[in-house]
Amino acid sequence: MNAATHEIAAVGAHLNEVYPMLPFTPVRGAGVFLEDTSGRRVLDFYGGHAVAALGYGHPDLSATIARQSRDLVFQTNALPLRVRDEAAERLASFGPPGLGRVFFVNSGAEANENALRLAFRVTGRSKVVALENSFHGRTAAAAAVSFGAAKSWYGFPRTPFDVVFVPRNDAAALAADVDSSTAAVIIEPVQGLAGAFDFAPEFLHAIRAACDRHGALMIIDEVQTGMGRLGAPFGAQLHDVRPDLLTVAKGLGGGFPCGAVLMPHSIASTLKAGALGTTFGGGPVACAAIKTVIDVIERDDLCANVRNISAVIRSTCRVGPVESIQGRGFLLGLKTRQKAAAIRDALLARDILVGTSADPHMLRLLPPLVLSKDHVQHLAAVLEDLTDAPL
Ligand SMILES: Cc1ncc(COP(=O)(O)O)c(C=O)c1O
């Protein structure tokens, strides 16, 4: 047994299975490429579930994390930190107008858990309206508003509040289900796990209107869609919709784990000390990373890059097994004739990493925002080569 095999066997023996593992063990990355110990390089169109927003080994992000961990690796929210204030200020101005207060947490599920808590606290109501095929995370409240979780992986004996799931883009069903008992409506502007399902902007505006009519809060879950992935800082800006609460994680720290809830002063000012809490949320390394990720997205105009290169994907990658393309920006679903998992495996065998989704015929692309045209041309050529491959 050589050293690499030994390493894998040791990991396999003690690690709980989370997702089925693919046959590639990266040890480093540069730009949009991952590399294993043998020097094999894989072009990454999946970005670690949309986390590696700036790709791998980004000089600014690596330098920031190294510097901040040398200066001060951690401190509690009980002490003021300048880097935390600055990260909150940068994130609030990067986000849609009106959400000027930030609560930092550690993950997408935790962000949604707290957004839901705030909605119940502010409205004093007991019901949430969510969308069919949605995914909002694995904690008790976030999973309660994730479609189908209760029947499969939820695990808790009951959900902690009432939830109604409405069909996607069905404004009439939405209008019927949002009422005076509704604390919040929660939606991903493009559903990620569902296979990059892009909501009609009118539907997002219908949610805003229904919430306004009944005094409910609109929560926009931008855990996957945020930080430039749709070609705008957030889907809320892209569609000019004004949520009451916005959640973000994944690309927020470019790979350093963190999340956040953005809220208006009107909500933040109702919260007494102790209403929200976290140990690790808002830690200095996370906050330094957040500042740098936003700086780089703005400085290098990565939102424009996402829009331009996304258009190239749409115009060149409908080849080979790909029948159609849906989604937005760098959250794209490639509908495949054969099973998506078989195409993913065939692509990985040809050194290209893509994701799958809840739809067995939908591949998911979530590449780093720094992807360029030549990478897409390579994907298109490899897809075309798969036309006659036995899959
Ligand atoms: C839209 C959305 N919300 C929430 C989550 C949960 O985020 P986390 O895994 O960081 O808890 C995810 C993760 O895939 C997601 O895609």
Other CB atoms closer than 10 Å to residue 158's CB: what's the count?
9
Q: What is the pLDDT of residues 301-357, one digit of tens each?
A: 999 999 999 999 999 999 999 999 999 999 999 999 999 999 999 999 999 999 999
- Burial (CB < 10 A; 0-12, 13-18, 19+), residue 124, is exposed
Measured in whole angstroms, the distance separating CA 252 from the mean position of its chain's CA atoms is: 9
State residue 33 phi and psi, 5-degree precision.
Answer: -115, 140
pLDDT confidence band for 390 (50 / 70 / 90): confident
Contacts of 378 (CB under 8 A, 6+ apart): 43, 352
Query: How high is the mean pLDDT of the chain?
Result: 96
**pLDDT value of residue 389:** 82
25 in helix, strand or coil? coil
In the predicted model, is pLDDT for residue 5 greater than 90? no
Predicted local distance difference test score (pLDDT) of residue 191: 98
Measured by CA distance, the residue closest to atom 7 of ligand 1 is: 108
Beta-bridged to residue 239, according to DSSP, are: none
Residue 360 has pLDDT above 80, yes or no: yes
Q: Is 48 in the pocket of ligand 1 (CB under 6 A)?
A: no
Question: pLDDT tens digits, residue range 42-97?
Answer: 999 999 999 999 999 999 999 999 999 999 999 999 999 999 999 999 999 999 99
Q: Is residue 2 predicted with pLDDT exceeding 70?
A: no
The average pLDDT across 165-185 equals 98
Q: Which residues pair with 325 in a beta bridge?
A: 334
Measure Cα distances from 367 to 13, 163, 253 in Å. Answer: 31, 33, 15
The pTM of the full predicted model, rounded to 2 decimals, is 0.96
Pocket test for ligand 1, best of 134, 199, 250 (most atoms within 8 A of CB): 250
The H-or-E segment that residue 172 falls in is helix 171-177
Quick check: CB of 107 below 6 Å from ligand 1?
yes
**355: which DSSP letter?**
B
Ligand 1 touching residue 120 (CB < 6 A): no
Q: Taking residues 290-307, report their average pLDDT.
A: 98
Residue 39 CA to ligand 1 centre (angstroms): 31
Quickly state the pLDDT bin for 148 (edges 50, 70, 90).
very high
Mutation choice for ligand 1 from 147, 224, 229, CB with most ligand atoms inside 8 A: 224
3 CA → ligand 1 middle, Å: 34
Tokens coding 216? 């409910």
